[in-house]
Structure 1
Amino acid sequence: MTNDAVKLRSIQRVSEIIELLQEHGPMGTTEITESLDVPTSTAHDYLSTLYDLEYLIKVNGKYDLGLRLLDHGIGARNRHPIAREGKSTIEQLANTTGEAVWLVTEEHGQAVYLDYALGEYAVQTHARIGTRSHLHYLASGKSILAHLPRERVEQILDHRGLQQQTSRTVDSREALFEELEATRERNYALNDQENVRGARAIGKAIIVDGDVVGAISVVGPANRLTDQQLENGLVDRVLGAANELELKLSQA
């Protein structure tokens, strides 16, 4: 194995350790060694180095992720334009709708949750800032896909597939592209219990100078986000908030 290949493998191992601890929480050296299928000495070298660099901490003799990673994550989020400019917009939309409002962007073919605001009646789902998710079963995700070139959408589907979250999740490319066409025609996307049973969402892409930089969405219980509610002003509020954010970004 060449020296460059060894370096690349080392980077991959570090990523695997971070992902492992993110998923499972504190783990001992033996547990990590077995999960990664590497010699104990190799795992120890990686873990002790990450600990010395303050990316890991020790909790009752086990390794866990340290808050230095939080600093990097917050820094990356705050450099994203819609995260910088969108806070007041989503707070106002949450106040007027009473529901949960999310800012989402696309990265490496996935939806990434950047920020949120909660209205008076908001119901929290499993999502949190930093969560990565498939695009095709989110209102925000479909609104983004609808404004990407078809070739790019095909690439995302080739890489990410069409994971089924509920029985209502779109399950074929043909059906998805029909939904994306409908999204473009009405200028917003819907998620009708496709991600979480009992929850609906409406999403609108944020487009600046012809580029999709993210999306804004309102999420709530299906019995509140009815078609009648959409027609009675919710759609207009979401479109208005998206337009406001687009104007902010175009002038930033």
Structure 2
Amino acid sequence: IKRVSLELGGNSPFIVCADTDIEKAAAACAQRAFSNMGQICISVNRVYVAEEIAEEFGELLVRQAERLRIGNGLEENVDLGPMFSREQRSRTKEHVADALNKGAELLSGGREPEGEAFDKGYFFLPTVLGGADHSMRIMREETFGPVAPVMRFKTLDEAIRLANDSDYGLAAYIYTSDITTGIRAAERLEAGGVGVNINNVMDHQMPFGGWKESGIGRELGLYGLQSFLEIKHIRLGL
């Protein structure tokens, strides 16, 4: 019998509460959604924003996306390089097109950059979508590309329900100025790792892995070691 530990796909939600520092939340969201062109297992895939701040947050997220410099990653002053394959870029374009066809609003990006410098390489602009909902593939499937679709919510209960409405459960994030709210939400979010006011759930001392279809078993930390050990019970009669 072969024991396995599997770290599989993700579709990480990013919840932004009305009481948070909006600028910090937007910067953190952009960094986790667009770094490495969104090709990270714990990248932000779905953004849920309280409706009171949704417009302002969207503007700040667009500003963050449009300041990123695209180009050859071996050159200085470049933030993002190309995607790793034509297939992955095509999947990203399909998800964006599906969202737009179902009523999403293109706020930024959504296409390949223009110019001779981008003829070689699978480049795609960091993309922000507004008016997203769960009828769209981009909210239900892992895009693995530089796209941040934004959906509004009215209550935190609704946001958590939407965040948990997924086959995946690798990472989740919530930004709020109330640490009690953050901890209580983290306990309810169905993910192997939750970042409260931080956009990274990786820590070499702590276990990493997913719930649901995001995997089984853990890596890193004490729990990661235990996944590769056999437990023995010795019972003594004296």
Scaled to the shorter chain, the TM-score interval is under 0.3
Normalized against structure 2, the TM-score is what? 0.26
TM-score (norm 1): 0.25
The structure that has the greater radius of gyration is 1
Greater percentage in helix:
1
